[in-house]
Amino acid sequence: MKKNSIWFGLIAAAGMIVLFDSCRGETYEQGRILYENFCANCHMDDGSGLAGNIPPLAKADWVKQSGAEMACVIRYGMEGEIVVNGRTYNQAMAGIPQLSDFEITNVINYINHSWGNDYGVMTLEEVRSALENCKQ
């Protein structure tokens, strides 16, 4: 009886890991597709940006430090001077209002885990509260 319940516990735990992993895989994949449709035009497929005009997202100190604030840039855009990896940029990025909170979360997590970035996982709740603070 005791042995059985240990096995049951192990199998249940393994099942949960598989479920969790496949879930993560899907949101990452959605983030990748959204990135390619909405961001890659300017920031490039590899997140390198365009020298002098469009700041990079790959290995970018701004991205690393921004946390959920990136959600505000995606929804509402940004303009004015910005320094990324020691280079100054001063162009305008238009907001992308058609992306849902959930889609924004997936794009951020895609960026945070691509091209050598390892900037942590952002939750939907963190994105929602950031968006609440910069609501326009």
110 is a site residue for ligand HEC (CB under 6 A)? no
38 is a site residue for ligand HEC (CB under 6 A)? yes
Distance, in Å, from the CA atom of 32 to the CA atom of 108, rounded to the nearest integer, reads 10
Shortest CB 42 distance to ligand HEC, Å: 3
> Is the CB of 10 or the CB of 41 nearer to ligand HEC?
41
- Residues 6 or more apart in contact with residue 135 via CB below 8 angstroms: none
- Residues 6 or more apart in contact with residue 54 via CB below 8 angstroms: 42, 43, 44, 89, 91
Instruction: Tell which one of 72, 107, 130, 131 touches ligand HEC (CB under 6 A).
Output: 107
100 is a site residue for ligand HEC (CB under 6 A)? no
Q: Which residue has the tokens 């709740």?
A: 125
80 is a site residue for ligand HEC (CB under 6 A)? yes
76 is a site residue for ligand HEC (CB under 6 A)? no
Distance, in Å, from the CA atom of 33 to the CA atom of 43, rounded to the nearest integer, reads 14
Count of Cβ atoms closer than 10 Å to residue 128 Cβ = 16
List interacting residues with ligand HEC (CB under 6 A). 38-39, 41-43, 54-57, 60, 62-63, 70, 73-74, 78-80, 82, 84, 89-91, 93, 96, 107
